[in-house]
Chain A
Amino acid sequence: MQKKKLSVVSKIYIALILIFLYAPIAVMIIMSFNKGNTMAWKGFSLKWYGELFQNNVLMGALANTLIIAVLASLLATVLGTAAAIGINNFRGKTRAVLQNVSNIPIISPDIVMGVSLMLLFSFLGVIFHFEMGFFTVLLSHVCFCVPLVVLNVMPRLRRMDPSLYDAALDLGCNQWQAFYKVVIHELMPGIVSGMLISFTYSLDDFVITHFTQGAKFNNLSTEIYSLLRRKIPPTINALSALLFLAIIIIMVLINVYERRAEKRAAKLK
């Protein structure tokens, strides 16, 4: 397609959409510097940031969120990669069925999945005497992460030349080496992106955690949820501002890294 300069109208349109997307965030960031603890502007202050860092509950919830996200994405990656390879070796109907079942957590509404897992865990909990908490949340997160990994690894598997593995064997690798050095190496980009997506999904999840958290465990989302149901403390604005900053930094880093990688690739050519 030919790339023409965009007309003024088009530019205004894009600008309006971006304003729509960023206005609420901007308002929140501005309010985070408000001295008063209501909406009325009472002057500039950093005190809410101070309170935020002293808030053990929020900081604990943040730690929980990160721990769950790391563990869930790692577990899901191992389970999902193995599953993708295995499923890929099935043929015909079996394979289609397996893939469809695997996709159920992705296409069913979050709330239905949350509710169904809660039923499962409270049923099992009575039998095996455990209470919902860290582990049930972790298991639930793995549940919606594995299909994401499978979906990411599958296309790579399809594109992979199956004779590569045999070639490696012929060249003297044992089965494990061939698997590790050739197969996993080939699948790596899919595995990594599956893991990253799992990680971000786990970080952002509210609904599933809400139904499987029990009463003692909170991640950041559920903690924010309970804050929003109360006398909303202004620290929440400070929290948003900092999260926003963190996201921007991560995005910029990713972009810089990619630019460099592109340049390097260009030089090699």
Chain B
Amino acid sequence: MKSKKLSIPYIIWMLVFTMIPIVMIGITAFKDSHGNFSLEPFMKAFGYTGVFLKSLWIALLSTLICLVLAYPLAYLLTRMKKSSQNTIQMLLMIPMWMNFLLRIYAWMILLQKNGPLDTALSLLGIHGTYIGNTGAVVLGMVYEYLPFMVLPIFTVMSKIDGGLIEAAQDLGSNGFAVLRKVIFPLSIPGVISGITMVFVPSASTFLVSQYLGGTDDIMIGDVIDKIFWTDQSTGSAISLILMILIFVFLVLMNLFGDEEAIA
């Protein structure tokens, strides 16, 4: 039980399957097509700055919309009976267990021209295109990741001491003031982890934009996928940059989260 030896297989495992692959990406990113040291892959990677920005923008929008939708829902959940809480939580999770690609495909059907949504809105006299634009990509992301926002916020909120809220009410706070002054500050850690859990995967995802977006909505994940099969060096350079961006984001979120938790 006191033995450290038990971790040896895993330490070797991590070395082979975590550290070496990352080092390999690092090495590949500095090679040109003849295998010599070169900064060319990074020069090429910076050619995709626009795609990086677009991906971050889509991820940001998706995260914000998720937050706006999820926060009230999480709050309402805390005010339910235990049994309805369980039911709603389960209902939130079931779509997540469907295959990722099938969920995106489902939206393709729903949003397409003369599809169910288009037909329904046409009856109301509204005509438009609902697929092949940034909006559809953001919608797809929100759909994919909404539960990741709701559940951590809910978990944190449901742990808030009921006594605090009663105390605030006894001291004359109305419902809104309680929400603003007690519940919101205390729920910040949940919000932070929700933001991380939505932002990171949506910034690095691929395929969603290929299926729901237009020609301008290509994301960095798609570029890596397209490029990696023919040009591993540039693919590695882009992956490396993406990874660094994500780590910076995580560190920032962590700092922010800790401070808030103390305050």
Q: Which secondary structure dominates where chain A touches chain B?
A: helix
B224 contacts the other chain (CB 8 A): yes
Q: List 28 A-B contacts (CB under 8 A).
A: A2-B165, A2-B166, A17-B69, A22-B95, A28-B102, A39-B115, A82-B10, A83-B6, A86-B7, A86-B10, A89-B4, A90-B4, A107-B246, A108-B243, A111-B242, A112-B239, A119-B25, A119-B28, A120-B21, A146-B10, A146-B13, A179-B1, A206-B101, A206-B207, A224-B102, A243-B102, A247-B94, A251-B93
Contact A13 B76 (CB under 8 A): yes
Q: Which residues of B contact A120 (CB under 8 A)?
A: 16-17, 20-21, 24
Chain B residues close to A by CB (< 8 Å): 1-11, 13-14, 16-22, 24-25, 28, 69, 72-73, 76, 78-81, 86, 88, 90-95, 97-103, 105-107, 109-110, 112, 114-116, 143, 146, 158, 160, 162, 165-166, 200-201, 203-207, 211, 221, 224-225, 228, 232, 235-236, 239, 242-243, 246-247, 250
Closest A residue to B250 using CB positions: A107
Closest A residue to B101 using CB positions: A224
For the A-B complex with A21-B91, A109-B200, A119-B232 known, give 17 more contacts whose Cβ atoms are closer than 8 Å: A1-B162, A6-B76, A21-B146, A25-B103, A27-B106, A27-B110, A82-B10, A85-B3, A89-B3, A107-B247, A115-B25, A123-B24, A143-B17, A143-B18, A146-B10, A244-B94, A248-B94
Assembly CA distance A244 to B107 (angstroms): 16
Q: Which residues of A contact B160 (CB under 8 A)?
A: 1
Q: Which residues of A contact B72 (CB under 8 A)?
A: 13
Evaluate whether A115 and B165 lie within 8 angstroms (CB atoms) in the complex, with A4-B79, A79-B13, A240-B98 already known. Answer: no
Q: Which secondary structure dominates where chain B touches chain A?
A: helix
Evaluate whether A255 and B235 lie within 8 angstroms (CB atoms) in the complex, with A17-B73, A101-B14, A221-B100 already known. Answer: no
Q: Which residues of B contact A102 (CB under 8 A)?
A: 10, 14, 18
**How many Cβ-Cβ contacts under 8 Å join chain A to chain B?**
223
Closest B residue to A10 using CB positions: B76
Evaluate whether A115 and B236 lie within 8 angstroms (CB atoms) in the complex, with A24-B109, A25-B95, A108-B243 already known. Answer: yes
Chain A: how many interface residues by the 8 Å CB criterion? 80
Evaluate whether A24 and B107 lie within 8 angstroms (CB atoms) in the complex, with A82-B6, A89-B3, A107-B246 already known. Answer: yes
Evaluate whether A6 and B224 lie within 8 angstroms (CB atoms) in the complex, with A13-B73, A17-B73 already known. Answer: no
Q: Which residues of B contact A18 (CB under 8 A)?
A: 91
Contacts of A125-169 to chain B: CB distance below 8 A: 139-140, 143, 146, 150, 162, 165
